[in-house]
Structure 1
Amino acid sequence: MTWTPITIEKVYDFIFQAESELDGELLNFWDLIKINPEKWIEENYGKEGNGFWVVGLIGRNVIWYNDIEEGFNISNYKTYGTIDEYFCNQDELTSAIERLFQIVNSVST
């Protein structure tokens, strides 16, 4: 069986599932950082699927879905549209949102 990139519909399924599980500060945070999913370039592993779906961003951090490893990740970026760091976490979107929320709050305090 060959690997096929995730569809935009499946990405939205993950987003809607996460939104149904979030509340309070985390839901407010997600509402501030979420974007319409966009395919971003990642030089090492993203070529075969024409990039990875980015679903949220704040500052120089993005939340994106690694459909090779089937999980959400947080990475830095310098240039809009290009993910600088490849990670292979297999996190649910809610976990990635919580982690980025903690990162942002630790920087601002």
Structure 2
Amino acid sequence: MEWQPATVEAVRKIVREHLAECDAEQAAVFKRYAVEPYVAPIFRYGEMESVVVVARRGDEVIYWEDVEEGFNLSPTAPDGRILEHWCNQDELRFALNAWIEGRARTIRLAGHTN
């Protein structure tokens, strides 16, 4: 089966499933920063592709990485492009921890900036 980019509707379903695993603080942070999921451009593996953004806090977003099948955080450009391609396979709850005081990780793995 050939890989296809994730659709907004598929990512909505993934978010619903992942929210069921979140604790109260993670769910509250998601509720505060959630956006209507939308497709955003990202430079990935030498190609301009797209990912689905599900939350935004200032100029940073949480997006679904459909190749690695996990959530990642990245700053965005003024034009909406995702600036950092990460290959983490985080559940939504772990990505949300970055926005919760005292839970943020200090190490991020496998990032690519463009």
In the alignment, is the contact (CA less than 8 A) between 1:62 and 1:75 conserved in 2? Answer: yes
Gaps of 5+ in 2: 105-114
1:72 and 1:11 map into 2 onto residues whose CA distance is 10
Change in Cα spacing, 1:47 to 1:78, as seen in structure 2 (3 Å) is closer
Question: Aligned partner of 1:6: which letter?
Answer: A
Change in Cα spacing, 1:104 to 1:60, as seen in structure 2 (3 Å) is farther
In the alignment, is the contact (CA less than 8 A) between 1:39 and 1:81 conserved in 2? Answer: no
1:87 and 1:35 map into 2 onto residues whose CA distance is 20
- State the partner residue of 1:71: 70
Gaps of 5+ in 1: none
1:102 and 1:83 map into 2 onto residues whose CA distance is 24
Change in Cα spacing, 1:103 to 1:23, as seen in structure 2 (3 Å) is closer
Give me the CA root mean square deviation: 2.4
Secondary structure of the 2:11 match is helix
Instruction: Say whether 1:26 aligns with 2:26.
Output: yes
Secondary structure of the 1:54 match is strand
How much does 1:47 deviate? Answer: 2.7
- State the partner residue of 1:92: 91
- State the partner residue of 2:12: 12
Question: Aligned partner of 2:16: which letter?
Answer: F
Question: Aligned partner of 1:54: which letter?
Answer: V
- Higher relative strand content: 2
2:27 and 2:37 map into 1 onto residues whose CA distance is 17
- Higher relative helix content: 1
- State the partner residue of 2:3: 3
How much does 1:68 deviate? Answer: 1.2
In the alignment, is the contact (CA less than 8 A) between 1:33 and 1:57 conserved in 2? Answer: yes
In the alignment, is the contact (CA less than 8 A) between 1:74 and 1:100 conserved in 2? Answer: no
How much does 1:72 deviate? Answer: 0.8
TM-score by length of structure 1 reads 0.80
TM-score by length of structure 2 reads 0.77
Secondary structure of the 1:27 match is helix
